Amino acid sequence: MTTPAPTAEPSLQGFEHHYAEVNGTRLHYVTGGQGEPLVLLPGWPQTWWQFHKIMPALAARYRVIAVDVRGMGTSAKPDTGYDKKTMARDVYELLRHLGHEKVNIAGEDIGAMVAFAFAANHPEATKKLALWEVGHPGEIFHELRMLSQPGRPHLWWFAFNQVDDLPEKLLAGRYRLLLDYLIENETRDPDAIDETSRRIFAAAYEQPGAVRASNAWYQTFGQDIEDARTYAPLRMPVLAMGGLNFDFVHPLLDGKATDVRYVEFKDAGHYLSQEKPEKLTAELTQFFG
């Protein structure tokens, strides 16, 4: 079943909002353009709106499908199912629901993890895979340092989001504080994420159950790492990109794919789709063809 999304969602000219009931949950997704299907999966702490700068240009060549993954935005926030294999199944069933047999798929941050899991579990449905900042959870996650190190990203939120219950209480009515902190410290140009976007993201994570659901993306990393041990190397072409966390991209893909092209955004922070939309669009269109 597909139904219109609520009017609370921000509008983007040329794109339509929908819901679909798939894999025992409800996903919100945004579509526009014509051509081969190109799926975009967002990351934390954002929503599909993080792609609003690149979607119009991509829609000139592709049928763009931007999906709020399980627990994100106005998608449902069930109690379970936040391992990336299950979240990838959500996306797979959504695409079957839409009549697509094989797609190009791309993701940032948490979305990159789900996109990789999609390609690993549904290779027959994956034409090409692009991911950035960073990749699917792997053994290197066990080696991340608790203490900050000069010249290295301090991923303190990996631990913070592992804690049960407390983040919800601390962030209730205060999510904008966390959002602004991350933007100021994880970008080269904080102004690239404007006031309107910040309000959209903060409102999304102020919804009931939103912090709990986003924490669950991190709390399932252990299961994700176990699942990754069972995956055969990807055979489809892969585009792997990074800015602030580029140093993590190669180790997470080492031995996990046979045809990888790496691209570093040396002048960007973590949020490539908003900090460097023109360059990212160019890389994606060149890769997907």
Q: What is the pLDDT of residues 123-165, one digit of tens each?
A: 999 999 999 999 999 999 988 888 888 877 788 999 999 999 9
Position 5 scores a pLDDT of 39
pLDDT reading at 4 higher than 80: no
Residue the block writes with tokens 């789900």? 114
pLDDT reading at 24 higher than 70: yes
Q: What mean pLDDT is predicted for residues 45-51? A: 98
pLDDT reading at 199 higher than 90: yes
pLDDT reading at 43 higher than 60: yes
Q: Shortest CA distance to 227 belongs to which of 131, 129, 147, 141?
A: 141
d(CA 253, CA 150): 25
pLDDT reading at 3 higher than 60: no
Q: What mean pLDDT is predicted for residues 198-204? A: 97
CATH number of the structural domain 2-288:
3.40.50.1820
Position 121 scores a pLDDT of 98
Position 147 scores a pLDDT of 85
Q: What mean pLDDT is predicted for residues 252-270? A: 97
Q: What mean pLDDT is predicted for residues 46-55? A: 98
Under the banding of pLDDT at 50, 70 and 90, the label for residue 110 is very high
Position 153 scores a pLDDT of 77
